[in-house]
Structure 1
């Protein structure tokens, strides 16, 4: 049957709560500043909703986790329903599983034969709560029970009298202290005036509620049949009309039929609620109970301590799911695997900027000792670390992501803070690979793509690979090396030295070109211009520098600090449409500043060479040392370009070959 075009012919809207016309609601102007009392009903309300109810062994495991999380009131069973339920209550009491500050609650219908067995199950525990219930809404009174209002009141009061008598007798025997929690089942569908009338009659019949020993009224939204604001109106009406309000605890028990149980619970607290009943992850009949994890962490994210410990949330969630044989969506609030993950580029960019700004702000607090390290992050309302998660899942990269996502992963995994323009070019690499494999780009895949794109490896990846190099200061007048540079370094923030500030250097590098090692040489002001000249002279590869940046990578100790150099370069004379046309970035990392610069140049060159052919190595004269024993006699009569013969005595007077320090490629 198709949906009705006019559903009003079949479904009736909720009726208004009978506030006076001039009444001003209090709950819209309130704010939650303290946590409520929490009751976990996972072992009863949650368990009864399972396809395969938990064994007592499983219930004990979950009970222990609920206690660890900090719940002080736990509904553990429906002891009159079966021997298994009864025995579970007895076992946790007799085996000392119940801490002194934890109260056990059991549920019983308003039937005399079931009430006694329920009370018997609690004998000997320190504090027990009797959850007595009966449905009181018109549809249950008239259809299910066929009772009038008067008959419903009489049935309820007779049950309350019996509970009072039996609990007083048990207190005399075992010392167990009992609290009555009377549940107006189907409260959300009950006339507000009748609910108050019934509540006041129960309060009168119980007859011993005081501010120090309060009675509880469970206002159950057994079926969520109206908006959350309507439930808040119902709670406020009951709260403002019940007698002895200072001796009453109003317990909120929303269900999730409309998908707004958490909202109803939050508004119910503003309307006068003191206690929340629900389940971890919202397990329960039909669409479930209110989710206590979501509700508690909503408060936590607003600076209100819930008094519950979810700092090992992943473990708690896994246990609850296993015990209940259930799964939760990956985007379930707080508990889902992807709730702290961003795939969209705009979200990633905002999160990355937020993390950077927050790190700066928190560092300032540490330095000054003033201010608060408050959490203020785009898209992430709560610090995942508070729940036992890390930041590795904050940004996940796919073909739909943007530059910030891939850059964030590189920063987290390799500590490299890429320049903005470089982020754009690298993401194109990531996006192309993601589209090719049709999957998410995980952190290891992104790292591999980065190293391959920029030839970052201890072994050759591209056509060019710098094994080692030497730098010689040159005399400005003679252009000849004066002495080798043994520990050349410069400011990591200055890539290319000016002619006035820099030194004229000769670069001599051991370079693999298409797998064949050769030596290249070039002169320039600073190591970058010197290696560029070497590539131009020996490989006919003329490169232009566009932009540059540098970064100090701090390690645990100063001796392990490294420098990262980023250089944007282009190929001189390249024409549009050629494979090598356009600007590329190179990356170099080393504990030595000059080495990081030289590696960055070679990294960029690898992306620009394309398939071009390189000239053959030039023959460069290298002087030989002549031994005293007369080796290399053939050289004695060779006429050099000076026109003089080189005698043995002259050779002995010649300085030894230069002792040159070599920086090995690592």
Structure 2
């Protein structure tokens, strides 16, 4: 990059609006959606979709709930012509779905497009010609009037052909292509010329589509343009105002949202934002943005992984791991502080209240994801995330007094491997570090008796194997754990239980119990053990044995 290379680019100026209305508005409903995956998206693929893939993709869009779908440019490609005919001849278009085709303003192309639509009940014919300053000067070498004449002539040809297909309801869509580089007053002139020729009604409106064919300025400038255009176009009640945002500046979603505030009725885009250069506006992100604001997007995103699978198969393009809402890692937290906040938020969440979980703008279950994938572990993770994995994958609710010690175990593994630590590795480390450890001390048998001197006293008689030697121990205490610890102090002196916790490993009556023990040895060091058994007393005794074994290992 040259040091002063930026000087060859000009800054676009704001539209002169005396009182902007859009900044104070809220989006209150979903727009009319139109997917252009099968046309705009398909033309941008390294390997354009086959007929079979186009059918699979079309069926996906219908299943998701898109009611307007641009299926191709049938006059420019035989496969797109054949695809359009296949949909019609095989009755694959539901009654509530309208397909759309694209054509340039040339008679032979328009006639071919109408041939492709023969027999259909309803269709949108999308007419376009480029109107920008640079296209008029560099590509077409035509005057403003000549460009307007081209658009009007195309509209007139479509009107003539409509009369030859009385069985079909036709809707005209007109796009001043490269609207983003067109003088605003001139864009208004050419659109009004098309409207005057078409003569729409409130029952059969015309679609005026204003694309950011190349995104050249910040989203607020586009919103100004849309508000100005909406306020100044004649016959606004007979017009569906549409936006087709591209993503050259990386702000297509913002552009679309601000355009909706400014008066846009309809949005064209693609799922996951595929399209020429940096792509179109991402309809998944845009739709789920509405969803997270309490607005029905009128599109079904509940099986996002199924959508991803078909999309990747048909386009041969991956959905990035960090793609909003859909990426494999977007509901994943590695950071310890994030994990702890998510764990606490999920623990407090009440399904009858508004969703409020830190770091998760949407409930992953709403798009078919599970909570198990939310927290994953690497060297940056903390004790809360590891505890979440153990509880949600394996049912072990590790108490706070033990979480830090276990996090250090996993931290060591993560530091050594320098990569993500999966749940199996975490569970294996938990078992090796704490669970039912039976060496060098093994519990052979145990008997629990109530002492006659006091109903509060418990006597423990146990047989243990210590380094190959069979030993009998006895202890009296105010409970089984206390009695066992006193008996064990005859062999391992000076340790005491400082913390204890227990729960069942399941909901049914036959579920195992698990006990967690923290002991402090004679030197003041803390050690931890975990025991499981169908009997909670035996689980607790096993936990003590595990902790003691840790202390003398």
Give TM-score, length-normalised by structure 2: 0.97
* Partner Cα distance (1:26, 1:65) in 2: 38
Aligned counterpart, 1:354: 345
One of 538, 546, 571 as aligned partner of 2:498:
546
Aligned counterpart, 1:624: none
One of 213, 219, 223 as aligned partner of 2:210:
219
Q: How far off its partner does 1:65 sit?
A: 0.8
Q: How far off its partner does 1:562 sit?
A: 4.9
Aligned counterpart, 2:234: 243
1:573-593 deviation line (CA, Å, top 9, x unaligned): x2xxxxxx6112222334433
Between structure 1 and structure 2, the one with the greater Rg is: 1
Higher relative contact order (CA 8 A, sep 6+): 2
Relative to structure 1, the CA distance from residue 510 to residue 87 in structure 2 (aligned partners, 3 Å threshold; closer, same or farther) is same
Q: Does residue 412 of structure 2 align to residue 423 of structure 1?
A: no
Aligned counterpart, 2:256: 265
* Partner Cα distance (1:142, 1:169) in 2: 37
* Partner Cα distance (1:551, 1:194) in 2: 75
Aligned counterpart, 1:297: 288
One of 139, 143, 148 as aligned partner of 1:148:
143
User: SS in structure 2 opposite 1:426?
Assistant: helix
Aligned counterpart, 2:10: 12
* Partner Cα distance (2:80, 2:229) in 1: 33
Q: Does residue 120 of structure 2 align to residue 94 of structure 1?
A: no
Q: How far off its partner does 1:516 sit?
A: 5.4
Query: RMSD over aligned Cα, in angstroms?
Result: 1.7
* Partner Cα distance (2:215, 2:253) in 1: 11
* Partner Cα distance (2:496, 2:338) in 1: 35
Aligned counterpart, 1:614: none
Aligned counterpart, 1:622: none
1:508-544 deviation line (CA, Å, top 9, x unaligned): 223333355543322222111211122122x233312
User: SS in structure 2 opposite 1:197?
Assistant: helix
Unaligned runs of 5+ in 1: 363-371, 477-499, 575-580, 611-666
Aligned counterpart, 1:192: 184
User: SS in structure 2 opposite 1:417?
Assistant: coil
* Partner Cα distance (1:108, 1:526) in 2: 85
* Partner Cα distance (1:540, 1:551) in 2: 24
Relative to structure 1, the CA distance from residue 527 to residue 250 in structure 2 (aligned partners, 3 Å threshold; closer, same or farther) is same
* Partner Cα distance (1:465, 1:184) in 2: 83
* Partner Cα distance (1:316, 1:593) in 2: 47
User: SS in structure 1 opposite 2:377?
Assistant: coil
* Partner Cα distance (1:526, 1:133) in 2: 85
Q: How far off its partner does 1:58 sit?
A: 1.1
1:407-455 deviation line (CA, Å, top 9, x unaligned): 1111112323222231111101111122223332211111111111113
* Partner Cα distance (1:554, 1:587) in 2: 13
8 Å contact 1:215–1:249 — kept in the other structure? Answer: yes
Aligned counterpart, 1:64: 59
8 Å contact 2:222–2:255 — kept in the other structure? Answer: yes
Detail structure 1 runs of 4+ shifted over 6 Å in the superposition. none
Aligned counterpart, 1:373: 353
8 Å contact 2:336–2:384 — kept in the other structure? Answer: yes
1:529-566 deviation line (CA, Å, top 9, x unaligned): 211122122x2333122233x34337343x23554332
Q: How far off its partner does 1:66 sit?
A: 0.8
1:634-663 deviation line (CA, Å, top 9, x unaligned): xxxxxxxxxxxxxxxxxxxxxxxxxxxxxx
Q: How far off its partner does 1:467 sit?
A: 4.2
One of 190, 193, 197 as aligned partner of 1:205:
197
* Partner Cα distance (2:282, 2:488) in 1: 66
Relative to structure 1, the CA distance from residue 319 to residue 161 in structure 2 (aligned partners, 3 Å threshold; closer, same or farther) is same
What is the number of equivalent residue pairs in this alignment? 553
8 Å contact 1:563–1:592 — kept in the other structure? Answer: yes
Unaligned runs of 5+ in 2: none
* Partner Cα distance (1:525, 1:461) in 2: 25
User: SS in structure 2 opposite 1:196?
Assistant: helix
